[in-house]
Amino acid sequence: MNTSTGVLTVNLDALLANWQILRARAPNSIVAAVVKADAYGLDARQVVRALSRQGCRDFFFATVSEALEVADVLSPGCRRYILGGFAVGEERDLLEHKLIPVLSSQAEVRRWQQLLAVTGRRAECALKFDSGMTRMGLAVDELLALGGDASLCQQMGLRLIMSHLACADESSHPQNSEQLTCFNRVSDQLRPHLPDVAFSLANSSGIFLGPDYQADLVRPGAALYGVNPDMCGANPMRSVVRLSVPVRQLRQLQQSSRIGYGAEVQLPAGRVLAVAAGGYADGLHRVLGNEGVGRMAGVEVPVVGRVSMDSTIFDVTSVPNIQAMVRGEVEVPDIQVLDEHLDVSRVAARNQSLGYEVLTSLRAGRYRRVYCGGEQ
């Protein structure tokens, strides 16, 4: 019986294939990569190294500290954008490491202008405006006032103007076209004054809304890591992540028994249960209790009872040769929690969450990590 820790395998070749799929979908746009939150929990250093070797040159991080952590694995000529702008005290890192802050408010714009004026340094920035999500971003009239002054934008080192779609994963949602109309109105008005500035609207799902949404640069994140960019359609992306957890104990019920915390489930005598390593402390959400599935020896096996902090119970009665495993005559295989059949999007649907949440939750996992492909 395998008593090692669970294994999280990241297929960097699949990641690179997904980047190429997205390039084919947006052939007239720069295809960047969003690698915030440690590349959605998959290790930004591994992901950035592989993508930059493949030719990706534009990377988006949430914070300055995230961007600094990958400095030594970037290929020459790469650009690092900071989606969260910059905090007081981070100015030196921005300038010394040539990071590109995404400025989302007039206060940030003023701080950036003051920084360049005081230091006499030349640096680049991006501007984000709110086209309808009502989260972060300059108001449209604020952006138009700034963008209408080409000399000021040149002094600021303006490189990119961007906005963000709120409902792109629902392709028929009317807000998509509303935001596109707003975005096009802004870009049509500013492009004549700012011919060297790129415009960006589409995230992963936005790319699949079509060429009208793709503009000069697209910013895929989740799709790179195998998350389905379309809630209603088949997943065009390759699965990047596999997660297997070892079985700590096999037990065949000798009598009708209640299972796990809360005694919510009762199973009859004869059922075979596998207590597997990995629980909610490892990113396997509690809502998977009585709802989730894994795969053992090619067969889907349901989660029974509540997910515990360190373990999850599966009903493996239907697995071929299970009685020989119970008797100890053959080795007990690991249970696959994520693989090409149970991909991130399918698990997220059972998890009542999003693929983003499933992936980033794995950061907490006490797994052994294996990276394959990507010209390691």
What pLDDT score does 364 carry? Answer: 80
- Under CATH, which architecture does the 12-225 domain have? Alpha-Beta Barrel (3.20)
Tokens encoding 90: 């981070």
**Alpha helix (H) residue ranges in 26-86:** 36-41, 44-54, 64-68
Which of 36, 40, 225, 356 does the annotation list as catalytic? 36
Length of the chain: 376
The per-residue pLDDT for range 69-116, each reduced to its tens digit, is 999 999 999 999 999 999 999 999 999 999 999 999 999 999 999 999
Query: Both ends of the chain: CA-CA distance in Å?
Result: 31
- Evaluated on CA atoms 315, 317, 322, 327, the torsion sign reads positive
pLDDT of residue 353: 85
d(CA 58, CA 50): 13
| pLDDT value, residue 376 | 58
| CATH topology identical between 12-225 and 241-372 | no
Domain boundaries defined on the chain: 12-225, 241-372
User: What digits encode the pLDDT tens for the residues 194-207?
Assistant: 999 999 999 999 99
Copy the structure tokens of residue 184: 């096009």
Work out the burial of residue 122: count CB atoms within 10 Å of its CB; fewer than 13 is exposed, 13-18 middle, 19 or more buried: exposed
In tens, the pLDDT along 26-42 reads 999 999 999 999 999 99
Q: How far is CA 142 from each of CA 129, 139, 196, 221, rounded to the nearest angstrom?
A: 9, 5, 20, 28
* Residue 2: predicted pLDDT: 47
Catalytic residue list contains 225: no
Grouping H, G, I as helix, E, B as strand and the rest as coil, residue 58 is strand
- Model pLDDT, residue 69: 98
> What's the pTM?
0.94
CATH superfamily entry for domain 241-372: Lyase, Ornithine Decarboxylase; Chain A, domain 1 (2.40.37.10)
The token pair at 29 is 């746009």
Task: Answer yes or no: 36 catalytic.
Answer: yes
Find out whether 318 and 336 touch, Cβ atoms under 8 Å: no
Q: Write down the pLDDT at residue 365.
A: 79
Mean of all residue pLDDT scores within the chain? 95
Phi, then psi, of 207 in degrees rounded to 5 = -60, -40
Q: Are 150 and 195 in contact (CB under 8 A)?
A: no
User: Positive or negative CA dihedral for 349, 354, 357, 362?
Assistant: positive
- The Cα-based distances of 168 to 35, 114, 175, 362 in angstroms read 19, 36, 9, 25
Residue 293 · residue 318 · CB < 8 Å: no
Catalytic entry in 81, 128, 213, 261: 261
Task: Report pLDDT for 1.
Answer: 43
pLDDT score, position 367: 92
Percentage of residues in the chain having pLDDT higher than 90: 90
The rounded average pLDDT for each run of 10 residues, N- to C-terminus, in the chain (376 residues) is 73 98 98 98 97 98 98 96 95 96 97 96 97 96 96 97 97 97 98 97 98 99 95 90 96 95 94 96 89 96 96 97 96 96 89 88 89 83
Going across the sheet that includes 7-11, the strands are 299-302, 293-296, 335-338, 241-245, 7-11, 368-372
Q: Which amino acid is at 196?
A: D
φ/ψ of residue 49, rounded to 5: -60, -50
